[in-house]
Amino acid sequence: MKRIFSFLIFAFYSLTVLAQVDTAQQIVAGRSNGAEQQDKPYVILISADGFRYDYAEKYKAEHLLALANGGVKASSMVPSFPSVTFPNHYTIVTGLYPSHHGLIDNTFYDRNLKRFYSYKGKTAGEGIWYGGTPLWVLAEQQKMITASYFWVGSEAAIQNTYPTYYYKFNQVTPIDKRIATVVDWLKLPAEKRPHLITFYFPQVDHEGHKHGPNSPEVEKAVHFIDSAVYELTKAVDKTGLKMNYIFVSDHGMTTPDIVNTLKLPAAIDTSKYIIGDHGLMIDLYAKNPDDIQKTYEQLKKEAKDYQVYLRVNIPQHYHYSKSDDRYGRIGDIILISDYPKVFNIRNSKFDPGWHGFDPDVVKDMHATFYAWGPAFKTNTQIGSFPNVDIFPLVAEILGLKYTFKVDGTRHLANEVLKK
């Protein structure tokens, strides 16, 4: 009965059409795997947005649990601050904290460009916003073909480089067609076949926001992901290639207090500041630096249910200070709400599910990490680890070299890879 239920959910999501958008595959012509790359391993990096660290057990995702228990399963993966989608997806593929790669939030202001970045706008496809070297850029630079069925940054020319095969994000393409595309990529001749594929699911995050993490809708979305990953592995198995899978999420989900929300503090003169906010954090960019200290002191006096920091004194564990701010994008003053409070400075209607809280304080922000395949140890349980460690792990599996500094370490690779 459970298998029939999962199949029906899988079919429902597969047939749902939400919008009419361009779904054409983008292909960068003229690329081939170098001769030395053609025998390298393969990795499919899967992200299920908002798939909290405990969802598989909570909602009995039988296929994912079987795959994870047969390979490597982490207690949780700790997202970087702030625990929101775009910064953390890009952290996973660069090994850099958000302040070091430039995507400090889903939306933010850049002092030097004098513009706002928005994950919903055309800026998401502009390479100028993306620092660091994502895995597909590193691979392509070393003549290794990559493909992306959605990932943050994959639609932008980062260091003038796209994945060889990629799609512009949409929620139209049915999952069976997406799986078929992955199989088609893997059936290409060795010189054209991608060795790194990124694959993204939005469903769990969407339902978590709309209905909360304890809802039947989230349970259905988890079962959809469970079935989809199972179908993907079955289809890929038929190609005969030995595939390494890494299943992650960017963050978790929790239930905030959306009734007693926080208003814009009276100490903030909106004529003196450019304001960036996402509900759990407010960045204040001073138009005149002389205003910063006075506003900060006033905010400290009246602060209730939120913390106030200067860019120069925010605690180090956030990796969000002036010394970390490589692109001039962190506010002069930062307000961070205390769990479970949220700011509502625009009189918005808030969803019952939310993320973005400090993952060192709120365990519900923790993400998922499972891995299986020929490169990984079997029947292995590990503890929690930071998501910056994914980049060195994937680079090692694929045999990619890099000399630049990242925030991630080889600790995870040493724990989970076969010797």
Per-residue b or e along 245-265, where b marks 16 or more CB atoms closer than 10 Å to that residue's CB: bbbbbbbbbbebbbeebbeeb
Amino acid identity at 113: L
Q: What is the C-alpha separation between 365 and 359, in angstroms, rounded?
A: 5
- Candidates 394, 414, 418, 416; CA nearest to 406 is 394
What is the greatest pairwise CA distance in the chain?
67
**Contact indicator for 130, 103 with CB cutoff of 8 Å:** yes
3-state secondary structure of 334: strand
The per-residue pLDDT for 23 is 80
Mean pLDDT on 375-389: 98
**Contact indicator for 200, 151 with CB cutoff of 8 Å:** yes
The per-residue pLDDT for 278 is 82
**Contact indicator for 350, 279 with CB cutoff of 8 Å:** yes
Confidence band, pLDDT 50/70/90 cuts, at residue 34: very high
- What are the structural domains, with CATH classification, of the chain? 2-16+23-96+132-255+360-416 (3.40.720.10), 273-337 (3.30.1360.180)
pLDDT at 373 over 80: yes
Confidence band, pLDDT 50/70/90 cuts, at residue 10: low
Q: What is the C-alpha separation between 86 and 98, in angstroms, rounded?
A: 9
Confidence band, pLDDT 50/70/90 cuts, at residue 4: very low
Q: What is the C-alpha separation between 41 and 199, in angstroms, rounded?
A: 17
Q: What is the C-alpha separation between 285 and 294, in angstroms, rounded?
A: 14
Q: Which residues pair with 186 in a beta bridge?
A: none
**Contact indicator for 225, 208 with CB cutoff of 8 Å:** no
Confidence band, pLDDT 50/70/90 cuts, at residue 7: very low
Cβ neighbours around 312 below 10 Å, total: 10
**Contact indicator for 408, 389 with CB cutoff of 8 Å:** yes
- Candidates 307, 222, 308, 215; CA nearest to 255 is 215
Per-residue b or e along 353-365, where b marks 16 or more CB atoms closer than 10 Å to that residue's CB: bbbbbbbeebbbb
The per-residue pLDDT for 369 is 99
Mean pLDDT on 198-218: 98
Which tens digit of pLDDT belongs to each residue from 339-362?
999 999 998 888 999 999 999 999
**Contact indicator for 253, 226 with CB cutoff of 8 Å:** no
Q: Where are the beta strands (DSSP E) in 182-286?
A: 196-201, 243-248, 273-277, 281-286
Mean pLDDT on 364-389: 98
**Contact indicator for 264, 284 with CB cutoff of 8 Å:** no
pLDDT at 3 over 80: no
Least confident of 13-17, 215-219, 241-245, 391-395: 13-17
With a CB cutoff of 8 Å and minimum separation 6, the contacts of 382 are 72, 73, 74, 75, 412, 415, 416
How many Cα atoms within 13 Å fall on the side-chain side of residue 182?
A: 31
